Amino acid sequence: MDFHSKIYVAGHRGLAGSAIMRKLEEKGYRNLVFLSSKELDLRNKSHTDAFFEKEKPEYVFLAAAKVGGIVANNDYPADFIRDNLLIQTNVIDAAYRNGVKKLLFLGSTCIYPKFAPQPVNESSLLTGSLEPTNEAYAIAKIAGIKMVEAYNRQYGTNYISVLPTNLYGPEDNFDLETSHVLPALLRKFHEAKVNNDPVVEVWGTGEPRREFLYSDDLADAVIYLMNTYEGNQIVNIGVGEDLTIKALAEKVKEIVGYPGEINFNATKPDGTPRKLVDVSKLHSLGWQASISLHEGITKVYDWYLKKLIQQSAVAK
């Protein structure tokens, strides 16, 4: 991509997409195309086709997706498989039919088998059973990766797929029903601090291990790969380090400044026991994460507090 290339960021208001937008602008890219989901429903084929025919983007970052945590994935599997299949099918096909030079598809490391050897190498995809609570979303994302590969083979397109680990950052979802673990913990500990609650309940045993990637690091990685990587092989994007949910909860508690206790509710699901990705391929391609977990959580908490102040001002 050069600084005048027409670049479409699908899902620019989401966690990943908003970070990609910020990083593109920071790096000097100015010819950016984006529409909100209210302005363009990517689940609608005719609307998606019309957009691509009008705008003719040269590069596409496909970050638009229906995402959520354990509760949402478990409760709304039909929504997750339908919406994600529609979005990615419409965008990938429209990109091909309108001459897009390169497309980057964002998958997720949660699509790997539940008991894949750790750290999870790219070769583990489709080698075992999926995590049941996440199966609908995972199958949709796997289909997207295979669609990218199929278009490359049949039509000679230059599309790539990347698999980010657990993301967090500004514009994250803090809804306790649909959010992922880190923003959910931030909100829980903040509200407990404000309300002087003596205990915060955390789902599960606290023993599962997770890896977390700050969204600005993801954005830097995908722009780097868009400019440097070609091939049909997926690429993991992560930091190469993980920690237990218990250790994460303690870290969030410290950063928020919550003085109370933590109760782990073992009757609630843990999800996948461990999900650490092998980032040796990413490192060999010349990119490594730079934002520490403590620094990243501190930045997100600051952003969350500012958002609460803005919401309070609007309410008044």
For the annotated catalytic residues, the residue numbers are 137
CA distances, 100 to each of 5, 104, 107, 207 (Å): 11, 11, 19, 44
Which residues is 261 bridged to in the sheet? 199
Phi, psi of 16 (to 5 degrees): -75, -50
Q: Could you give the angle at which helices 15-27 and 215-228 cross, rounded to 10 degrees?
A: 60
Measured from the Cβ of residue 150, the count of other Cβ atoms closer than 10 Å reads: 14
Q: How many CA atoms lie within 13 A of 221 on its CB side?
A: 32
Residue whose C-alpha is closest to residue 205's, from 273, 119, 266: 266
* Residues that constitute the known binding site for substrate: 188, 203, 210, 270
Instruction: Name residues whose C-beta falls within 8 Å of residue 257's C-beta, 6 or more positions apart in sequence.
Output: 193
For the chain, counts of helices (H) and of strands (E): 10, 13
Which residues contribute to the annotated binding site for NADP(+)?
11-17, 106-109, 141, 164-167, 180
Half-sphere exposure of 88 toward its Cβ, with a 13 Å CA cutoff? Answer: 26
- What are the binding residues? 11-17, 106-109, 141, 164-167, 180, 188, 203, 210, 270
* Cβ burial, residue 106 (10 Å; 0-12/13-18/19+): buried
Cα distance between residue 70 and residue 62, in whole Å:
23
